[in-house]
Structure 1
Amino acid sequence: MELKIYMTMLSRMAPLLFFSILLNVDDLFARSAYVAELQQITQRTGPSTDHRIVKMLPSGALLTVLEESDGWLRVRDADGSIGWVLLRFTTTELPARLQLEQLRQEHADLREASGGAVGRIAELEAAKHQLESALSESIRNHDVLEREHTTLLSEAAHVVELRERHDTTMAQLEQAQVRVRKLSSDNEELRASERLRWFLLGGGIVFTAWLFGFLSGRMQRKRRSGLQY
């Protein structure tokens, strides 16, 4: 069923396709041509000067050649107008004047493009100089920070050394205080022992003196008693 519908549609479209091909058959074999170095040439309705002039074509106009017959060309111009022109007034190459204008335009375009490129290069150079300046400034800042960091490390090491010396001194001071307290204790004990020794020595002297006095008194009394008898 679908195939039948497809064949029916194709049979209906075939005349349209064939007619379209006939309309464009000239384009299948067409070639390009230009109006030669003249002010302008005539485009006529037929291949002779007896035919009516359709329009005037300027020098350098681009033409699409559809047919050639007895020194005449059937052409279509850029506006789509179809007519006949003399073959000897056409050329297959772009006329020198138009080539020169084209070269001038290309040269101007190149200059404009190169000018833009030069401007872009200048912008890039300026950006490069700015980046180099920023890099130099960053390097200088890095050197300053590096020196400050080194100084801080040195100061920190000095602080650590001072802290260690302080701790050592405090430990030595504490040991000295312990020794002083021990010496003070020993001194107090020595003083107490010395006082006791002197006390005992003084007591011994007093006792000896008392004993000597006591004995001397008895001896004297005995002598007096002996003399009385």
Structure 2
Amino acid sequence: MPFKQKQNSTGILFKILMVVILLFSASAALAQTRYIKPSSEIVVRRGQGNEFKIIAMVKDGVAVEFLEASKTHAKIRLANGKEGWILKRFLSDGPPLEAIVASLRTENERVVQKEIDATLKFDAVSATLTQTEQELDATLRERDQLKADYLTLQEDTANTIQMKNDLEKSIKNNEILSQKLAALQQEKNSLEDDNSFKWFLAGGGVLVFGMLIGSIFTKSNKRRPSLL
């Protein structure tokens, strides 16, 4: 046991000793309690003298109730209610020193045990508190991680929404461009058709022109006289 605990136990023991002495003194004054002095077993008789019948045997340190006294004897009442006489010299106003020491030793052991129990309880509470603090720290870390994940999710969601909007715009733009491209392709086809028709007309015109020229030359040859 550490020195400080021994010092505290000594102080407590002294205080308990004083309280016990005061309590025993007050009890003796109020209830007229007496104690059998340390000796061999004391006989309790019906009357004052050896000729009276023995009704009980009491050991040293036993508390009895003092009723009355004569010159040599004292009438007492035992814990079981029996009344009888013993020699007055075997009565004491206070409990034997051995009884006080035993009582104080028992009380001291009780106090020490109580202190041990309190220490164990304190250690258990400290361990529980430490575990609770660790769990709290873990919970706070988990909360912070969840908060960070939530913010990241919000940012990802915002980016996803923006990407979705951009994709929808791109689809619409593609549709518009496709429509414009289709219109241009149609216009191109129309122009190509026009050019083909024009070339067809031009070719036909050239063919007709050639036929006219040929016809003219043919008529001229028929009109020219023969030199033979």
Q: With the length of structure 1 as denominator, give the TM-score of the two structures.
A: 0.65
- Asked if the contact 1:37/1:59 (under 8 Å) is kept, the reply is yes
Alignment partner, residue 7 of structure 1:
none
Q: Percent identical across equivalent pairs? A: 22
- Asked if the contact 1:33/1:90 (under 8 Å) is kept, the reply is no
Q: Distance in 2 between matches of 1:51 and 1:208?
A: 183
Asked which structure has the greater RCO (Cα within 8 Å, sep 6+), the reply is 2
- Asked if the contact 1:35/1:63 (under 8 Å) is kept, the reply is yes
1:114 pairs with 2:108: no
Q: Distance in 1 between matches of 2:153 and 2:100?
A: 77
* Secondary structure of the corresponding residue to residue 48 of structure 2: coil
Alignment of 1:148-227 (within 5 A): 148-204=149-205, 207=208
Q: With the length of structure 2 as denominator, give the TM-score of the two structures.
A: 0.65
* Secondary structure of the corresponding residue to residue 59 of structure 1: coil
Q: Distance in 2 between matches of 1:33 and 1:85?
A: 14
Alignment of 1:59-78 (within 5 A): 59-65=60-66, 67-71=67-71, 72-78=73-79
Cα deviation 1:101-140 (Å, max 9, x = unaligned): 2122111112112212211221222222222222223333
Cα deviation 1:36-80 (Å, max 9, x = unaligned): 543254423213466455444333211133x41434432222344
Alignment of 1:2-81 (within 5 A): 31-40=31-40, 41-48=42-49, 51=52, 53-65=54-66, 67-71=67-71, 72-81=73-82
- Asked if the contact 1:45/1:53 (under 8 Å) is kept, the reply is yes
- Asked if the contact 1:44/1:55 (under 8 Å) is kept, the reply is yes
Q: Distance in 1 between matches of 2:203 and 2:32?
A: 156
Alignment partner, residue 8 of structure 1:
none
- 1:178: Cα distance to partner? 0.8
1:140 pairs with 2:114: no
Q: Distance in 2 between matches of 1:101 and 1:142?
A: 60
Give 5+ residue unaligned stretches, structure 2: 1-29
- 1:183: Cα distance to partner? 0.5
Q: Distance in 1 between matches of 2:210 and 2:52?
A: 186
Q: Distance in 2 between matches of 1:217 and 1:151?
A: 95
Cα deviation 1:16-39 (Å, max 9, x = unaligned): xxxxxxxxxxxxxx9452225432
Alignment partner, residue 97 of structure 1:
98
Q: Distance in 1 between matches of 2:75 and 2:85?
A: 4
* Letter aligned with residue 160 of structure 1: I
Q: Distance in 2 between matches of 1:77 and 1:103?
A: 24
After TM superposition, the structure 1 stretch with the greater mean CA deviation from structure 2, 68-77 or 108-117, is 68-77
Structure whose alpha-carbon radius of gyration is higher? 1
Alignment partner, residue 26 of structure 1:
none
- 1:167: Cα distance to partner? 2.2
Q: Distance in 2 between matches of 1:53 and 1:140?
A: 83
Count of residues in Structure 1 that have an aligned counterpart in Structure 2: 193
- Asked if the contact 2:47/2:84 (under 8 Å) is kept, the reply is yes
Give 5+ residue unaligned stretches, structure 1: 1-29, 225-229
After TM superposition, the structure 1 stretch with the greater mean CA deviation from structure 2, 190-199 or 146-155, is 146-155
- What's the Cα RMSD here? 3.5
- Asked if the contact 1:35/1:57 (under 8 Å) is kept, the reply is no
Q: Distance in 2 between matches of 1:89 and 1:58?
A: 11
Inter-CA distance 45–95: structure 2 relative to 1 (3 Å threshold): same
